[in-house]
């Protein structure tokens, strides 16, 4: 019997198929025979593309690790801050102000890499075309920034409120449902393509939410925490869909400009809300010297790093890897919760978390995932059959040579 192809050949087939599916088009692939020179050039270009893909994936894996670590660190540090300073809106407001640093950091990196002789004001005006051809005016500043800043503040505030009721693992798992809400809103509002597998994923997310609420019997802080986490996921999904609807696909400079603009809006217009909560005794700070500035700056810094990595990672690597980095925060928080607080997860809660994570992974499938999968399996089967045919040819030649060496005569058959 013929031996199966070694692992190195299978990996070669897989990588070559991925490169061909992502780079080489289907038109004219079988219409004419290629010359040796063209075939060699095609193999060389495919090899270079393969190397670039591998480097991009490796860089993406590094970004995934950083995204997951920053999000886990933010969530855990927030819960640690709540032990001495339980003011979620102030923490959200203080952290959002740090978004102002996004554009200066982008400009510094842009100048260091490209060495363009462009002043910060010129670059800021160039990136302000995201708001329109005339740039950013006061009317557009209020019209475009206000709704996104409000949604951003609501998302963060509800997330922090949920962390006061639930564990970090539960909140991060429930927040992953925002991917399902984005699909549903995009399907309804943006008229995106309908996909059955994503409907199944959305149903799984809703099932996980219900099971998470049922874990403690639909009463107490659990149901309130689940509602707050789902509300945070909903406002996050609405923010992303509206951004895609009104602002379209922005480059990294425009995103940095937009984040810094939201930070300025938060500092100017939303600063009154923490003061109102302070004077109404809803959130009591105490004196400024008694505030845990180390924890507050740590939370704000990690939150800013997470936002920068998410937006920079989309440019440097594949967006699907960034989404996986967010998903990996669930097992990361679970490990820390078990080691830190000795949390014992019930069967229902663990099953709900797994269902939500599986639904999240299904939502990451591309639109043409079924066609690409079938083509990949067909190409892999063709390569295996070719390998099997070559082995049979080699074995027949070896058998004939042995028979001739032993004095036997092979009679050709008609």
pLDDT of residue 262: 94
- Per the CB < 8 A criterion, the answer to whether 243 and 170 are in contact is no
The residue among 266, 260, 74, 264 whose CA lies nearest residue 151 is 266
pLDDT in tens, 27-37: 444 444 445 55
Burial of 376 (0-12, 13-18, 19+ CB in 10 A): middle
Largest CA distance in the chain: 107
Best CA proximity match to 172, nearest among 60, 82, 298, 73: 73
Q: What is the mean pLDDT of residues 16-43?
A: 50
> 342 pLDDT exceeds 90?
no
First CA to last CA across the chain, in angstroms? 27
Confidence grade of residue 192 (pLDDT, cut at 50, 70, 90): confident
With beta carbons less than 8 A apart as the criterion, state whether 132 and 50 touch: no
Confidence of residue 8 (pLDDT cuts 50, 70, 90): very low
**Range 381-408 average pLDDT:** 59
Cα distances (angstroms) measured from residue 364 to each of 122, 201, 324? 38, 10, 9
Say what angle helices 252-269 and 88-97 make with each other, to 10 degrees: 130
> Tens digit of pLDDT for each residue in 91-146?
999 999 999 999 999 998 888 888 777 788 888 888 887 777 766 778 888 888 99
* Residue 332 pLDDT exceeds 50: yes
Contact 82, 277 (CB under 8 A): no
Asked whether the beta carbons of 391 and 2 are under 8 A apart, the reply is yes
Q: Give residue-wise pLDDT tens across range 353-394.
A: 889 888 888 888 777 766 777 777 787 777 777 666 666 665
pLDDT at 399: 54
Q: How many whole angstroms separate alpha carbon 362 and alpha carbon 354? A: 12
Contact 154, 227 (CB under 8 A): no
Q: How confident is the model at residue 24 (pLDDT cuts 50, 70, 90)?
A: very low
| 6-15, 156-165, 335-344: which is most confident | 156-165
CB atoms within 10 A of CB 44: 10
DSSP annotation of 130: G
Q: Distance between CA 95 and CA 89 in Å, rounded?
A: 10
Contact 334, 345 (CB under 8 A): yes
239, 151 Cβ separation under 8 angstroms:
yes
């Amino acid at each position: 019997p013929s031996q199966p192809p070694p692992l190195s050949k299978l990996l070669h087939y897989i990588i070559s198929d991925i490169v061909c599916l992502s780079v080489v088009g289907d038109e004219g692939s079988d219409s004419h025979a290629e010359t040796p020179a063209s075939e060699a050039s095609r193999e060389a270009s495919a090899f270079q593309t393969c190397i670039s893909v591998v480097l991009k994936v490796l860089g993406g894996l590094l970004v995934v690790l950083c995204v997951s670590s920053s999000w886990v660190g933010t969530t855990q540090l927030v819960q640690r801050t709540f032990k001495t300073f339980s003011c979620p809106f102030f923490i959200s407001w203080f952290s959002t102000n740090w978004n102002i640093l996004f554009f200066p950091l982008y400009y510094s990196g842009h100048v260091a890499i490209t060495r363009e002789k462009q002043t910060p004001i010129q670059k800021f005006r160039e990136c302000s075309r995201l708001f329109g051809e005339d740039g950013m005016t006061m009317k557009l500043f209020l019209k475009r920034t206000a709704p996104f800043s409000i949604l951003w503040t609501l998302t963060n505030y509800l997330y922090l409120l949920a962390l006061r009721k639930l564990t970090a693992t539960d909140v991060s798992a429930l927040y992953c449902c925002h991917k399902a809400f984005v699909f549903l809103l995009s399907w309804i509002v943006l008229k995106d393509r309908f996909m059955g597998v994503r409907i199944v994923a959305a149903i799984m997310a809703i099932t996980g939410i219900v099971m998470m609420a049922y874990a403690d019997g639909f009463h107490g802080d659990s149901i309130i925490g689940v509602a707050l986490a789902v509300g945070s996921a909903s406002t996050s999904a609405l923010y992303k869909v509206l951004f895609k609807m009104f602002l379209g696909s922005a480059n990294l400079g425009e995103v940095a400009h937009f984040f810094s603009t939201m930070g300025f809006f938060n500092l100017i217009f939303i600063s009154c809300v923490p003061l109102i909560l302070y004077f109404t005794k809803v959130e009591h700070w105490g004196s400024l010297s008694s505030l845990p500035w180390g924890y507050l700056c740590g939370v704000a810094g990690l939150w800013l790093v997470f936002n920068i990595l998410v937006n920079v990672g989309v440019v440097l690597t594949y967006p699907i890897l960034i989404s996986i980095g967010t998903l990996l925060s669930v097992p990361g928080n679970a490990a820390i919760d078990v080691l830190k607080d000795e949390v014992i997860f019930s069967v229902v809660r663990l099953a709900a978390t797994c269902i939500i994570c599986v639904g999240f992974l299904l939502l990451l499938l591309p639109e043409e995932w079924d066609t690409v999968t079938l083509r990949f399996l067909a190409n892999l089967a063709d390569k295996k059959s070719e390998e099997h045919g070559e082995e049979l040819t080699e074995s027949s030649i070896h058998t004939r040579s042995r028979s001739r060496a032993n004095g036997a005569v092979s009679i050709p058959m008609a």
